[in-house]
């Protein structure tokens, strides 16, 4: 197992730091779980955002400067994270003509929210110069995707 090897042979890198720094005090299972989460966060979101963006451009999507605006609308339009993990309703209230009771489990469809015509003018169009662009392509609040900043940087 790689963790055992790194434990026996310290080296530079995140896993070695997690294993050898006494402030972390993590079990092998915790290190493995954290490494998996970081791998997914650093790989999946970036992979999907880049491939979806390249596909859109190859299909004739407008690509205007500055590039950072285009990336934001690619994130909104394709939503690398399609839905949230299950969330729990904190207090009973009516929303979307439904009664949501305290403790109910809900899953937010982020791609649907990012194509909401009430929030986005021409919501079904890819507009690489869209301003403002308050999309939730990587989730929101405490549940935001860990790979969001890396995906922006690498794209």
**In this structure, what is the dihedral angle of CA atoms 116, 46, 24, 21, given to the nearest 10 degrees?**
-160
The number of beta carbons lying within 10 Å of the beta carbon of residue 49 is 25
Cα of 89 vs its chain's centroid, Å: 22
Q: Is the pTM of this model over 0.75?
A: no
Find, among 99, 103, 134, the residue nearest to 120 by Cα.
Answer: 134
Mean pLDDT along residues 81-104: 89
> For the segment 42-73, what is each residue's pLDDT rounded down to a tens digit?
777 788 888 988 898 899 887 766 688 888 89
Q: What is the mean pLDDT of the chain?
A: 86
Six token digits for residue 95: 């929303």
**Complete domains list, the chain, with CATH:** 2-154 (1.10.630.10)
> For the segment 118-154, what is each residue's pLDDT rounded down to a tens digit?
999 999 999 888 888 999 988 888 878 877 887 787 7
pLDDT value, residue 92: 96
């Amino acid at each position: 197992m790689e963790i055992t090897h790194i434990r026996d042979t310290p080296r530079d890198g995140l896993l070695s730091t997690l294993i050898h720094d006494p402030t972390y005090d993590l079990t092998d299972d915790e290190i493995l779980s954290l490494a998996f989460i970081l791998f997914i966060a650093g790989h999946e979101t970036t992979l999907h955002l880049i491939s979806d963006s390249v596909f859109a451009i190859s299909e004739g999507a407008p690509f205007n400067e500055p590039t950072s605006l285009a990336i934001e609308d690619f994130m909104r339009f394709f939503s690398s994270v399609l839905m949230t993990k299950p969330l729990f309703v904190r207090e009973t209230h009516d929303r979307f003509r439904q009664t949501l009771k305290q403790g109910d489990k809900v899953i937010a469809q982020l791609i649907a929210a990012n194509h909401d015509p009430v929030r986005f003018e021409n919501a079904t169009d890819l507009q690489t110069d869209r301003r403002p662009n308050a999309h939730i392509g990587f989730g929101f609040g405490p549940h935001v995707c860990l790979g969001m900043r890396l995906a922006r940087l690498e794209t």
